[in-house]
Structure 1
Amino acid sequence: MNAARDAEPGLTLLVHRPGEEPTLLHTGLASLEHRLPIGPDTTFNLGSVAKQITAHLILLAAHDDLLRLDQKAADLLPRLKISDVTVADLVTHRSGIRDAESLLSLAGFRDLDHYTADDLRTLAYRQDQRAVPEGRFLYSNTNYLLLAEILETVHHTTLPDLARDRVFGPLGMHSTHFKSDPRQVIPGAASAYRATLHGWQHAETPVTLPGPGTLWATVGDLDRWLTYLHQHWHHPDQLPWQEAVAYEPSDHEPYLYGLGLYADPRPGRAAVFHYGHEQGFSASAHLEASGLQAVCLSNNGELSADRVTTALLRNLRTQPTPAIQEALAQATAIERTPVTAVQAQPTADDRSQHTELGTFTCDQAPGSLRLTRSVGALHLWRRGTREQLTPAGPGIYAGNGCTLTTASNTNHIDRFTLGLDRAPGLTYIRQ
């Protein structure tokens, strides 16, 4: 391997073909401070890959008659105001409940600000109607945060203990843990890093949200989970546990979404998978109907696990009988995410060029937002930081992951609608 890259944070990659032993590749360091290399016992934060574990625990709870998938979630969560949302709606991201982390970002939270699962649940319980029409897909981590609360309610125990007793222990996944406290020590844990113009920087933030994320595991433990999943994939024309929860169209065509898993239903390409991106870590778990398993875990902000896995699978499909080690090495050689400079915050002179349009609040989101106007653009301010919104149509202004809609006259604004990727339809009114 490249000596310079071996001195950087890196990744671990596994391919497991049916009837063969898994093949692994490790590159880079789990800890730059201690120059500790990544190995088979290194644990990584899996991010949203955790959702399939939470969904499976919900399925087991339904099997044990502790809940019904078609049951109203409000029966189990009395504070939930959207009364027609079912447990299955939460599992398949069809609740219409906005992503609470996106809402919290409107308050201007900074990287090292600490918030808890209870903070996010409080924002979920402020919502009184679906953000999208009934039945429409809206990916929201809040769904799985609420599922975790449901599991703890019906089992009278914590999600980490439940997952250990019902899944991780029986499957021999002894290095896999839900992290419920940022101070908790995870054995063998890698640190995550992002590249800056001045060198490597730690990427973790002091937040743990069991249910939608903060699951830590080794590549070998994930391989055990995928083996178990494939054992319950009884027919290649069906998807795992499809009889319990139907897979429906998702936010990425042609993929469907079911029990915490995206699915490719195309004939000859049937597969289930999920990606995770969490605090500088990235993860990918992929299982095909044939039994082919691919897992990639990264602690390098420049090496995205989903891109590496995509490259690996492409190599395996285009070469009839490639050497696995060669395919793995080729997959890690893909172009990395470029390091970009952080945009400077506006100075006092910058602000003097802005026309104040007012301060606005929304009953579904915390804090307040300010709007200013300068040279044909709107500027959205939250806790002293500014985002420029450029015209995208009559009365429509677009920024990074958000859209603001108002009357075409921006000289005076009384209200506007803000749409975030995972939290659409927020109405803000001038104070």
Structure 2
Amino acid sequence: MSREDGRDLTTAELEQQVRDAGLLSGDVAVAVACTAPGTGRLTSSSGTLADRAVDAGTPLYVASVTKQLVGVLAAQQVLAGRLDPEASVTALDPRLPGWAAPVRVRHLLHHTAGLPSTAVLLTAAGVAEPELTNERVVAALAALPGPGRPPGEAFAYSNLGYVVLAEVLAAVTGTALPVLARQQVFEPLGLVSAHLGAAPPGRPADLPAAVRPPATVGDGGWWIGAAELLTWLDALNRGALGAGVSELVQTPGRLDDGTPLTYGWGVTVRVDADGATCTHGGTWPGWTAKTVRRPATGTAVALLTTGGDVDAVSGSAVALHDQLVAGPSSQSSSRASSSRRPSAS
């Protein structure tokens, strides 16, 4: 991967960045992929999963990184004229309770829907979180007396909101979300390792029970290798998922009173004088992921692990991306900061 001074970013330097973040210790598996425009890609991997060596093509669970996939699927439907961001979610999916009528699709997208907390819903569902499914989430919401707070008043990151959004998309399109994702994203981009659902075929049997994620889709559910996740990020940077899709998902939301947010359509968006940087992390016990991309520079990083150090994974991915954007002059400072940078969404 060529730098501005003509010297290549080597695999050894990439691995050193990850090592400095403490991610190559113990039995943690790591797969990382990064790119900059006109320079190709660089990948690295280490460790095993279920006694098999992990590489950049090994599907790993990316947890809440799935939300950016759901955001794109929603944007595609909006731009096709099939989904109105201002529509009431109960009008689109009548299974949802009457008290959710004031909740709009945009509230779900930007985490301002005011839905009850996961803890409250789990009590109503009578199950532990690993036993949740989309159907159980919808049923439990219907059993609750009302929302956590009125929609549009405050930002409150909500996994439940993206499960509901997944169900709304399924209702609008008449297509289950895993099928919609395959048709609209995976097949067009050639993502052969990508799978949306409880787990890839054959995977549950060889995973320890302690690291088997819940079966909900929308808040999570995406399994993909680092190299193909980078293909996804690059497609978003290039606007290759449909006219206007990338621009829409990179647009931060607002509260109903107009207060601006930093969350777009399934992705955190931070804008400075040089453009937007889009990030999202995901974690579940035994899995942690982070993506970072910057459309203006065409740079992107996908970092997937079987570890649980959210701050280290986030910090390493952000520092590596900073290095790609700024060139070799940032290498030393990026390494120094990677192990102490706070986790970012």
TM-score w.r.t. the length of structure 1 is 0.63
Larger RCO (CA within 8 A; separation ≥ 6): 2
Listed one character per residue, the Cα deviations across residues 107-154 of structure 1 (whole Å, up to 9, x for unaligned) are: 88557x623222222232325245256342111111111111112112
Counterpart of 2:138 in structure 1: which amino acid?
Answer: R
Which among 298, 314, 320 is matched to residue 291 of structure 1?
Answer: 298
Which among 30, 45, 51 is matched to residue 26 of structure 1?
Answer: 45
- Could you tell me whether the CA contact under 8 Å between 2:67 and 2:162 is conserved in 1? yes
Q: Which deviates more from structure 2 when the two are superposed, residues 204-213 or residues 95-104?
A: 95-104
| Structure 1 position 307 matched with structure 2 position 312 | no
Higher helix share: 2
Higher strand share: 1
Paired residue for 2:6? Answer: none
Q: Shift of the alpha carbon at 1:311?
A: 3.4
Unaligned 5+ segments in structure 1 are 192-200, 337-431
User: Percent same amino acid among aligned pairs?
Assistant: 25
Distance change (3 Å), C-alpha of 1:75 and 1:169: same
Alignment of structure 1 residues 153-172 onto 2, 5 Å: 153-172=171-190
Aligned length: 311
Distance change (3 Å), C-alpha of 1:66 and 1:290: same
Distance change (3 Å), C-alpha of 1:16 and 1:217: same
Which among 56, 74, 89 is matched to residue 73 of structure 1?
Answer: 89
Distance 1:183 1:172 in 2: 17
SS state at 1:170 partner: helix
- Could you tell me whether the CA contact under 8 Å between 2:72 and 2:245 is conserved in 1? no
| Structure 1 position 13 matched with structure 2 position 32 | yes
Unaligned 5+ segments in structure 2 are 1-14
Distance change (3 Å), C-alpha of 1:225 and 1:315: closer
Distance 2:62 2:337 in 1: 19
SS state at 2:164 partner: helix
| Structure 1 position 213 matched with structure 2 position 220 | yes
When Rg is computed on C-alpha atoms for both structures, the one with the higher figure is 1
| Structure 1 position 178 matched with structure 2 position 196 | yes
CA RMSD of aligned residues (A): 3.7
Q: Shift of the alpha carbon at 1:51?
A: 0.6
Distance 1:190 1:245 in 2: 40
SS state at 1:295 partner: strand
Counterpart of 1:138 in structure 2: which amino acid?
Answer: A
Distance change (3 Å), C-alpha of 1:327 and 1:190: farther
Listed one character per residue, the Cα deviations across residues 349-382 of structure 1 (whole Å, up to 9, x for unaligned) are: xxxxxxxxxxxxxxxxxxxxxxxxxxxxxxxxxx
Paired residue for 2:111? Answer: 93
Q: Which deviates more from structure 2 when the two are superposed, residues 149-158 or residues 296-305?
A: 296-305
Where does structure 1 differ by over 4 angstroms across 4 or more consecutive aligned residues?
4-7, 105-111, 243-246, 314-319, 330-333
Distance 1:262 1:239 in 2: 16
Distance 1:332 1:203 in 2: 32
Distance 2:321 2:148 in 1: 38
Distance change (3 Å), C-alpha of 1:310 and 1:132: farther
Listed one character per residue, the Cα deviations across residues 264-315 of structure 1 (whole Å, up to 9, x for unaligned) are: 1122362011100123201111111311101100102246421321332455
- Could you tell me whether the CA contact under 8 Å between 2:252 and 2:261 is conserved in 1? no
Which among 141, 157, 161 is matched to residue 139 of structure 1?
Answer: 157
- Could you tell me whether the CA contact under 8 Å between 1:6 and 1:29 is conserved in 2? no
